[in-house]
Structure 1
Amino acid sequence: MDRTVMKWLILAIAVPAMCIIVSSFILSYYEVGFVSWEGDALFYILNIVAMLIGCAAEEIGWRGFLLPNLQKKYTPFTSSVIVGILWGVWHLNFTGGLFGFVLYTITIIEMSILMSWLYNKTAGNLVLMTVWHFTFNATSHMFLWDRFTLQLFAIESIVFGILCLFLFVAERNSSFFKSSAGSIQV
C-alpha cells in the first residue's frame, strides 16, 4: 500500500473514532454514564459483519452513486449536504423526538461533508468511505452504547461541526465550495 493511500486510511479511521471518543468523554463529564457493549463472541462477530455489510451497501449508494451524480450539477459541498439530508432521513432516528431527529441529521450532514471531501481527495475511493462509516458505527457501539440521548446528538453535532469549520477555513478557496464550469451553485 502506498504512502498516500495509507495517509487517507489513517484519516478515515482516526477522524470518526476521535469524534466519537471525544463525544463519549464529554458525555461522561455531564454524568451520562458509560454502558458497555456486552455480548458473547457470536454477538460481536454478527454485529461486526452486519455493520460492515451495511456500511458498504450504504456507501455504494451514497458516495458511489448519489454523490457523483449530484456533483455533475452542484458543488461538492452542496452535493454532500443533499446526501447528508437524505442519509439522515434514511435512518429515521427519532431518539429524543423531533429535536433529536434534527440534531442527529445535522451530525450526519456534517459527517457527509467531511466524507465527501475525503471522497473527492481520494478520487472516489469507496473502500475508504466504508472504512470511515464502519469506524463511526463500531466506535459508536463501543463508546456510546445505550447513551443515545439529546445530549449526545447535541455534542456530536458540535464536535463534527468544529471539524467542518476547520475544513471550511482550510479549503475555503478550493473547488469543494465553489462551482466549476457547468455546475450550479446552490
Structure 2
Amino acid sequence: MSFFVLAYVLSWTAWAPYVLSENGLGILHFKFPMVGGTSQLAGVLPGAFVGPILSALLVTAAADGRPGLRVWGGRLVKWRVNWRWYVAVVVGVPAALFFTAIPLSDDHIGSLPTEALVAYVPALIMQMFTTGLSEEPGWRDFALPRMQRRFGPVVGSSILGLLWAVWHFPLFFSDWGGPAVDWLTFVEFTAVCIAFSLVMTWVFNRTRESLPVAILLHTSVNNFFSIAFSGLFPTLTDRDTTHVFLISASIVASVLLIMTRGRLGYRPVDRQPTETIATV
C-alpha cells in the first residue's frame, strides 16, 4: 500500500501544474513548452518518473534493503531472454491491433507515409526510455510480484490494473486525455488497463520476470497508436483507439486465461527477497 500511495502523491503533485495550466483546466494562465511536437514531455514525463519508479526504489530500500534492491534492479536489466519474445512483441502487438481495427474501420485502410515508417523504430526506442522506463519498474517490477504472491495472478493483476488506471486519471483533464472526456472514458480506460495487465502478467511470468520485454510490450502499443494508427485508419477517431485496444487486450487476455487455467505462467513458491520467482 505504501508504494501505491507514494506513487499517487508524487505523480499527482508533479502533474498538478500541467493539469491546472492552459494545457488542462486553464486555471493557471500559462502553457507548457512544446518539445518534440508535444507538451507532454515537459508536462507529463517528470511526474511519471517521480511516481512509480522512485516509489518502488524507496519502498524496496526501506522494506527489503540491499537484497531487495538487487532483485528489483536485476529484473530491470534482465534482457537476455529468448529472441522469439522480442519478435513476438514487436510483430504481434501491431498485428493484433491492426486486425482488431479493420472491422471498426469498415475496411477503409490507408497507407503509412514514409516519415511514419522511418520514425517507427526510433519512436519505439524513445517510448521505451520515457513511458516504459518511468512506469514499469514500479507497476511490474515492484508491484506485480507482490500482488501475485498475495492475491494470485488473476486477482492480483486485476487489482494492479485498476490502480494503474486510476493513477492516470488526472491526466484526462489535460491535453493528454484528448478533447472529449466523459464518465465512459474512465470506465473504458480502466477496463483496458485491467485486461492489458493480465496479458502483461503472462509475458512477465513466462519470460522469468524480464522487465525489458514488459516495457517493450507496453510501449509497442503506445507506439502503434501514436505513429501508425491514424495513417492506417484515417476514418477512426481517438476514442476508437481505446475501443481497439480494449477489444484486442480482452480477447488475448481471455485466451490466456483459458489456456493457462488462470495461472498466467505463475508458480508460487516460498522464497527469500534475493531469489527470483519460478515460472512455468
2:145: which partner in 1? 68
- Does 2:225 align with 1:148? no
TM superposition shift of 1:177? 8.7
Question: Structure 2 CA distance, aligned partners of 1:102 and 1:32?
Answer: 28
- Does 2:185 align with 1:100? yes
TM superposition shift of 1:132? 0.7
**1:75/1:56 CA distance change after superposition, 3 Å:** same
TM superposition shift of 1:6? 1.1
SS of residue in 2 equivalent to 1:73: helix
**1:178/1:56 CA distance change after superposition, 3 Å:** closer
- Does 2:96 align with 1:19? yes
Structure 1, residues 71-94: CA drift from partner, whole Å, max 9, x if none? 221111211111211222222246
**1:24/1:45 CA distance change after superposition, 3 Å:** same
Question: Structure 2 CA distance, aligned partners of 1:50 and 1:82?
Answer: 25
Contact 1:83 / 1:112 at 8 angstroms: preserved in 2?
yes
Structure 1 residue corresponding to 2:211, chosen from 120, 126, 138: 126
Alignment of 1:28-67 (within 5 A): 28-29=105-106, 49=126, 52-67=129-144
- Does 2:253 align with 1:164? yes
Question: Structure 2 CA distance, aligned partners of 1:99 and 1:175?
Answer: 31
Contact 1:55 / 1:134 at 8 angstroms: preserved in 2?
yes
Contact 1:83 / 1:109 at 8 angstroms: preserved in 2?
yes
SS of residue in 1 equivalent to 2:263: coil
Q: Give the alignment's TM-score, normalised by structure 1.
A: 0.76
Larger Rg belongs to = 2
Question: Structure 1 CA distance, aligned partners of 2:122 and 2:265?
Answer: 40
Contact 1:71 / 1:79 at 8 angstroms: preserved in 2?
yes
- Does 2:176 align with 1:176? no
Contact 1:119 / 1:129 at 8 angstroms: preserved in 2?
yes
TM superposition shift of 1:46? 7.7
**1:64/1:35 CA distance change after superposition, 3 Å:** same
TM superposition shift of 1:32? 10
Ranges in structure 1 where 5+ consecutive residues have no aligned partner: none
Contact 1:67 / 1:80 at 8 angstroms: preserved in 2?
yes
TM superposition shift of 1:116? 0.5
Structure 2 residue corresponding to 1:137, chosen from 211, 222, 237: 222
**What is the identity, as a one-letter code, of the residue corresponding to 1:176?**
L
TM superposition shift of 1:133? 1.2
Contact 2:153 / 2:201 at 8 angstroms: preserved in 1?
yes
Over the matched positions of the two proteins, sequence identity in percent amounts to: 24
TM superposition shift of 1:16? 2.3
Contact 2:205 / 2:265 at 8 angstroms: preserved in 1?
no
Question: Structure 1 CA distance, aligned partners of 2:124 and 2:89?
Answer: 20
Contact 1:110 / 1:164 at 8 angstroms: preserved in 2?
yes
**1:52/1:177 CA distance change after superposition, 3 Å:** closer
Q: Give the alignment's TM-score, normalised by structure 2.
A: 0.53
